[in-house]
Amino acid sequence: MSFRPKKRLGQHFLIDQNVIRKIVDAVAAPPQARVVEIGPGMGALTGLLLERHPNLTVVEVDEEAVAHLREQFPDLDIRHEDVLGVDWSAFSGDHKGHPYGDSGAYVVGNLPYYITSPILFGLLDARRHIRRAVLMTQKEVAQRIVAEPGSKAYGILSVQTQLLARPRMLFSVSRHVFRPKPDVESAVISLDFDMTGEVSFDVTQMRRVVRTAFGQRRKMLRKSLSGLCAELHTSIPDEFATRRPEALSPEEFVKLTNTLFKVDL
């Protein structure tokens, strides 16, 4: 059928069956699990996902793609909406026991790259309702998500994701397996939310400290956090004062946050 991909919606369709199978394999959900696909487009992943997971829902914003999907998969639960407005809690099923039980949705998608960060932060905020996410992103973004302290790629995205999920780099994907070809290389990551339902810090406070510190990446924390410290009527602990943000592990950011905001551990 004639379909003109829409650049503004980040439409780059997968055409390689091997890559498609590897992404669907990585979901690794039990057959009855609720699986949600973000941005199914023309259904490259959808057919195989549906074969394995009858409890599949797809969320697609493009009306033309939705019409195509309805024709191709008449019985599929197709939501014509913006993924950024999705209430993930509605998909989590029985919450009882999660993060240690069997509930929580599995999310999968070859993401529209122009909204990777808001999608990612939305999933992190919904971590209690999600068990695992398998996401294709720009390779550079994937590298930032899994980066270790001290590396060039380590920053806001690494600390926040690593504190709220267990991210893993699964494999790289060449730009030649898409139509149209994107300008960048891609990679598939997984995020597991099995251990991270409860956290020992306030997420908003942590985000504030991490963003402020990395806002002046080259400066020592004594300097970059001086405004925040003044506002909180506190001073930076000696152990952090002369360090730069990229030297702190995610757990040290938690310690720093809880100290600055005087949260009892």
Locate 243 and state its tokens: 């360090």
- In the bound state with ligand SAM, the residue whose beta carbon lies nearer, of 85 and 215, is 85
134 binds ligand SAM, rule: CB under 6 A: no
**Residue 223 three-state SS:** helix
Residues in 95-114 that interact with ligand SAM by CB under 6 A: 110, 112
Interacting span for ligand SAM (CB under 6 A) from 80-88, 219-227, 246-254, 256-264: 80-88
Among 29, 36, 39, 105, binds ligand SAM (CB under 6 A): 39
Interacting span for ligand SAM (CB under 6 A) from 78-86, 121-129, 152-160, 209-217: 78-86
Task: Give the separation between CA 234 and CA 25, rounded to whole angstroms.
Answer: 50
Q: Which residues pair with 78 in a beta bridge?
A: 58
Among 25, 51, 82, 239, binds ligand SAM (CB under 6 A): 82
Sign of CA dihedral 158, 222, 205, 262: positive
131 binds ligand SAM, rule: CB under 6 A: no
Q: Count the site residues for ligand SAM by CB under 6 A.
A: 22
The phi-psi region of residue 28 (left if phi > 0; otherwise alpha if psi is between -120 and 50; otherwise beta) is left
CA distances from 132 to 33, 95, 97, 174 (A): 11, 15, 16, 24
- Binding residues for ligand SAM (CB under 6 A): 9-14, 39-41, 44-45, 59-62, 65, 82-84, 110, 112, 115
